[in-house]
Structure formats: structure tokens, C-alpha cells
Amino acid sequence: MKEPQIQIEDSWKKVLMDEFQQPYFSEIKKYLQNEKAAGHVIYPPGPFIFNAFNLTPFDKVKVVILGQDPYHGPGQAHGLSFSVPDGITPPPSLANIFKEIHNDLHLPIPKSGNLTAWAHQGVMLLNALLTVRAKNAASHHNIGWEKFTNAVINSISTQRSGIVFLLWGRFAQEKEALIDTGRHHVLKAAHPSPFSADKFFGCKHFSKTNEILKRQKQNPIDWGID
């Protein structure tokens, strides 16, 4: 089978090449082409679908923060879970993440919701679904993305060690089954959405993550933005 031309960082391309050659991945591409042909707007824009991979190479991953699907409002999604580009107001879940960082580490609450700085430090900001139809949350559920991102999680679990997985909410916590907890660290908490934030606050996942990294002789994450 001819190698597909996927625009993704080289280390991830090598790790995931078998997935790109699977029939289900061709079906994902076909589905997205049909969506666009029908006049639907897809988020994030094409060049940002694999942004989490392009900003955090496979061998640089230290932390994984798992989200569900991209934001479905104009200008919000740019391929990183929970993150929004500069100039976009942080959505409620992200605002609550910033509140917890402030309470945990006493860092100022940033004005920008752009988490690219985390990605550059080895925080893999992975959504289980990598695309969404505009104004229609979870609309690309069951088109194949979860099979792909499950393979991503499995690849990290089997080929790396000492990764800190932050699993917030029931959906993310179901992915624990894909993680070798003997090789990795799993921290679980409620989702930071306004519906469950009262149970998310106080989890101290950001200081706990840095304590784990320091024990492993790795640089801690600078969780500040500005």
C-alpha cells in the first residue's frame, strides 16, 4: 500500500505508520472530505489537526493531558486539548484549570488560554477526537478517531516509561485501561468543567506532576503561561 502523505512530526510518523495504513484511517479522511464537500465547517483547521503531535515529539513526551474533542466554536480549536489560541477567551474548563494552578502553585492566572508553552515542554495535549463539526460537539465520534488516539496512548504506554497521565473525568479515566500503570503514573480527578469543578479543585495535579518528574531526574513543567 502506498504510504499516505500525513503531515505529522517525523517521530510520530514512524510510531504511527501502521495506523495510517489501516483501512479505518482512510475512512476518517474520506469522512472529512465528505463533510467539507457538504459545506460543513470542520475544526480545527487542517494544518492544526495534528498540532499536539507536531509540538510534542514522541520521545519528548513527559505528561499527557487527555481531552474529549476539540472546541466547536469559531477560532477556538487549534489541535491542543483544553487550549485556545491567543486572543480567544479561555473557556470555562480552562479557566478552572488556571484557578487550580493558581491555588496549587500560586502562579498568576494568565490572560491567554494558549497552552503551546506546555506542549513545547513535553505536555502532550491530546484530544480523543481530533476533529469536530462547527457548533456540534462530539459530532465526529465514531468516525475512527478514537481508534487512532487509543493507538497513540497504547504506543506511549508500551514504548515509553515514567509518563504522567492526567485523567480528568469519567471519559478520560476510561482510557486508564490502555495504560501500563506499572510503567507510568496515573493521576485522576473530576473534570474541570463547571459541572464538576468543585471536585476538581484541590487535586493538586500540577505540583504532583512536577514532584514525580523531579523524582525521575527530569525538569519540572513551568505551568505558567504569561
Residue for grid cell 490572560: 111
Nearest alpha carbon to residue 205 among 83, 101, 68, 72: 101
Q: Of 18, 69, 198, 222, which residue is the catalytic one? A: 69
Paired sense of beta strands 42-43 and 132-133, if any? antiparallel
End-to-end CA distance of the chain: 46
Long-range contacts for 204-209 (Cβ within 8 Å, ≥24 apart)? Answer: 204/100, 204/104, 205/100, 205/104, 205/166, 206/100, 206/101, 206/104, 206/105, 207/104, 207/105, 209/63, 209/164, 209/166
Identify whether 69 is a catalytic site residue.
Answer: yes
For the beta carbon of residue 79, count every other beta carbon within 10 angstroms: 25
Residues noted as catalytic: 69
